[in-house]
Structure 1
Amino acid sequence: MLITISGPAGSGKSTAAKALADRLGYDHVSGGDIFRDLADERGMTPLELNKQAETEEGIDRDLDRRLREIAAERDDLVLESRLAGWMAGEHADFRVWLDAPLSVRAERIAEREGKSSEVAREETKERSESEARRYSDYYGIDIHDLSIYDLVLNTSRLDPDGVVAAIATVVEAYNPAGDEGKTPVTVDYEF
């Protein structure tokens, strides 16, 4: 089974994806890790690379192409990124969207990255707006359209174990036969 976990920065995607992969005995691939590596390689912060990606669409397209290739080639995988649900296309068996209010996400990011909540909030807001514009411009994706997801979960009142337990419960109860008549997500992207 290929499970995608998507959501904005600070929603708990990485933590949940790693723990869910461990629980299910699956591999885990993180688009965020790939993006942060790209930023490090260029001597930039993720926010700086996001800004550069607004004028250099090859940055996003390279990352997204890698995610699509991974999705097409692997099973027993938890694939995690903001667009994993979209990029995995017809290969995804189960799509999860995690979210939390901006204030909660900014606190998490501030703690993780050792910065003030105010700075984290502003950077997170800017980054989200930048990404939403690019997703719309490049692929015609409205990141706020959650209709492709099998599970949408607000993580603000759950600890990481609770998030994983909730996802695992739904995944384990998932009946793919119930997808009959459901139109699969197919998107034709130009990379």
Structure 2
Amino acid sequence: MLLTVSGPPGSGKSTTAALLADEFDLEHVSGGDIFRELADERGYSPLEFNKLAEEDDEIDRDLDRRLREIAIERDDLVLESRLAGWLAGEYADFRFWLDAPASVRGERIADREGKDPERATEETRAREASEAMRYEEYYNIDIRDLTIYDLSVNTARWEPDAVLDMLVTAVEEYEPAGDEGMTPVTDVDYDF
């Protein structure tokens, strides 16, 4: 089984993906962890590395190529990244989108990174705008298009365990309707 968890920074992707992986005894691969490791290895903050990625498309393309290969080659996995649902495409059994208002996400990031919430929200908005531009340019993906997802959840409304319960119920109750039940991922240019 391949589950994808996508959403903007601070939406609860990492927390939820880890909980899902534990619940279903699946491996968890985080694109954000890989991106932060790459940034740290080069001595950059994630925001600085995002800015660098605006000038060097190989940063995104390398990360996205790795995530796409993981989705194609591995089974029994929760794949988590902003583009996980898009990158996994037809290989995903279930695609989730998590979101929350920018102020809520900014506060979560501020708590996690020890920053001022307003600063974290501003940085997050800048990072999202940068990434959205690159996804459109590189792959013809409009990150705001949620039609490919099986379920979208506003995580500001529930605690992590309640979000997990919803997603677990969705997976357990899901009855495949064949290809007509899935929204296809089309017009994506996987030119890594």
1:42 corresponds to 2:42: yes
Q: TM-score, normalised by structure 1?
A: 0.97
Asked whether the equivalents of residues 147 and 183 of structure 2 are also in contact (C-alpha less than 8 Å), the reply is no
Q: Secondary structure at the match of 2:72?
A: helix
After superposition, the Cα gap between the structure-2 partners of 1:113 and 1:182, relative to the gap in structure 1 and judged at 3 Å, is closer
Q: CA RMSD in A?
A: 1.2
1:174 corresponds to 2:174: yes
Q: Residue 189 of structure 1 aligns with which residue?
A: 190
| Residue ranges of structure 2 left out of the alignment (5+ in a row) | none
1:143 corresponds to 2:167: no
Q: Bigger CA drift: 28-37 or 174-183?
A: 174-183
Q: How far is the alpha carbon of 1:181 from its aligned partner?
A: 5.9
- What code does the residue aligned with 1:75 have? D
Distance, in Å, in 1 between the alignment partners of 2:56 and 2:145 is 25
Distance, in Å, in 1 between the alignment partners of 2:75 and 2:93 is 10
Q: Residue 110 of structure 1 aligns with which residue?
A: 110
Q: How far is the alpha carbon of 1:90 from its aligned partner?
A: 1.4
Q: How far is the alpha carbon of 1:178 from its aligned partner?
A: 5.0
Distance, in Å, in 1 between the alignment partners of 2:117 and 2:183 is 41
Corresponding pairs, count: 191
Q: Secondary structure at the match of 1:54?
A: helix
Q: How does 1:3-82 map to 2 (within 5 A)?
A: 3-82=3-82
- What code does the residue aligned with 1:176 have? P
After superposition, the Cα gap between the structure-2 partners of 1:174 and 1:181, relative to the gap in structure 1 and judged at 3 Å, is closer
Q: Secondary structure at the match of 1:152?
A: strand
| Residue ranges of structure 1 left out of the alignment (5+ in a row) | none
Q: TM-score, normalised by structure 2?
A: 0.96
Q: How far is the alpha carbon of 1:179 from its aligned partner?
A: 4.1
After superposition, the Cα gap between the structure-2 partners of 1:130 and 1:117, relative to the gap in structure 1 and judged at 3 Å, is same
Distance, in Å, in 2 between the alignment partners of 1:25 and 1:98 is 21
Asked whether the equivalents of residues 3 and 94 of structure 2 are also in contact (C-alpha less than 8 Å), the reply is yes
Distance, in Å, in 2 between the alignment partners of 1:94 and 1:181 is 11
- What code does the residue aligned with 1:28 have? H
After superposition, the Cα gap between the structure-2 partners of 1:155 and 1:190, relative to the gap in structure 1 and judged at 3 Å, is same
Distance, in Å, in 1 between the alignment partners of 2:131 and 2:150 is 22
Q: Residue 99 of structure 1 aligns with which residue?
A: 99
Asked whether the equivalents of residues 90 and 185 of structure 2 are also in contact (C-alpha less than 8 Å), the reply is yes
Distance, in Å, in 1 between the alignment partners of 2:114 and 2:67 is 29
- What code does the residue aligned with 1:39 have? A
Distance, in Å, in 1 between the alignment partners of 2:126 and 2:154 is 21
Q: Residue 126 of structure 2 aligns with which residue?
A: 126
After superposition, the Cα gap between the structure-2 partners of 1:182 and 1:12, relative to the gap in structure 1 and judged at 3 Å, is closer
- What code does the residue aligned with 2:67 have? L
Q: How far is the alpha carbon of 1:184 from its aligned partner?
A: 2.9
Q: 1:98-154 deviations in whole A, cap 9, x for unaligned?
A: 000000000000000001101101100100000000001101110000000000000
- What code does the residue aligned with 2:116 have? S
Q: 1:18-70 deviations in whole A, cap 9, x for unaligned?
A: 00100011110000000000000110000000001001000000000000000
